Amino acid sequence: MSDKSRWKLRIENNCLFVDDVSNGKVALQHNARPGLRPYIHPLRMRGGGVCLTEDSPGHHPWQHGIQTGFHGVNGCDFWFDPGQQPEVVTGTIEPSALSIVSTEPPSWNIEAIWRHADGSDLLTENQSWSLFEGDNLLFLDLDWTLQAIPDIEIEQHAYGGLFIRMPYRRSSGGDVINASGMRDGDTEQQAATWVDLHMPLENSENGAGITICDHPENTNHPAHWRVDGSCGINPAPCIPAAIELSAGANLRLRYRLILHDGPLPPEQIEKQWATYLQV
């Protein structure tokens, strides 16, 4: 089967699916249902048997695979789901459009409105995603733009932005390393151009992982990272300082996710990082 015939994209029930026609399985599902923030789950490795994401785990039920959000956007929270923390003023991220851009490589857009709990609109969001192969790896690129409707302040916080939740199990653990060579808990709140997470996974002999690369043009690059006790990974531009946007201004953030079977040696990540610098 030729590479050009491998992927099929479709939109059903307010979700985008990337089907891997080589094995007849869904490689990626991007959920954009009304009243629920957009998020990716499941995300599977080549072959379709290994899932890299987890949705709403018991230890963090407000986390959904690969998602975006911030705390304290003009005093309103966009990290928790509405109703999960009754004491927190929580807004909604409302998907407004979902569209296929191309099938080779698979590329798609999601638009959304960030709405305050008082009903006012704060931000328009556009996520442009693409999935592609190379060097025996899968890559998932995100070009993410938030445009301010009124003047906006995103508060300084220990986490916020793009978040990755893999299916962590305390019994089997996970391994985290960053571009500076720091490991596991030492990577928490530290600046780095990339962070890699690898862990044992069901149906995988050698486990699998995700490396997140922070684009050099991102706000407050290199990102400071949230790495929680359950191996949740988050390049958080709001860690060093609050982010202020005047009405009509854009916050643009770009990331590359490298999806890998087994561990990915740091020297190979550095080669991929050098390639990403050219994007």
Summarize the confidence of residues 1-23 as an average pLDDT. Answer: 85
- Residue (of 240, 273, 241) closest to 258 by Cα position: 273
Tens-place pLDDT, residues 74-106? 999 999 988 788 889 999 999 999 999 999 999
- Using DSSP's 3-state secondary structure scheme, residue 74 falls into coil
CB atoms within 10 A of CB 168: 22
Q: State mean pLDDT over 206-235.
A: 96
The backbone torsions φ and ψ at residue 3, rounded to the nearest 5 degrees and listed phi first, read -60, -35
Over 80: is that where the pLDDT of 58 sits? no
CA 178/CA 1 separation, integer angstroms:
37
What pLDDT digit, counting tens, does each position of 138-155 carry?
A: 999 999 999 999 999 999
pLDDT of residue 2: 46
Domains of the chain: which residue ranges?
13-276
Task: Locate 224 and state its tokens.
Answer: 């400071």
- In angstroms, the CA 144 to CA 46 distance is 25
| Average pLDDT, integer, range 59-83 | 91
Beta strand 224-227 pairing with 233-236? antiparallel
Q: What is the mean pLDDT of residues 211-231?
A: 97
Residues 238-265 have pLDDT tens digits of 999 999 999 999 999 999 999 999 999 9
- 24, with CB counted inside 10 A (0-12, 13-18, 19+), is exposed
pLDDT of amino acid 4: 58
Distance CA 109, CA 73 (A): 23
pLDDT for residue 1 is more than 50: no
Is-contact 84 92, C-beta < 8 A? no
Per-residue pLDDT tens digits for 109-143: 999 999 999 999 999 999 999 999 998 899 999 99
CATH dotted code for 13-276: 2.70.98
Least confident span in 14-18, 203-207, 232-236: 203-207
The pLDDT value recorded for residue 81 is 87
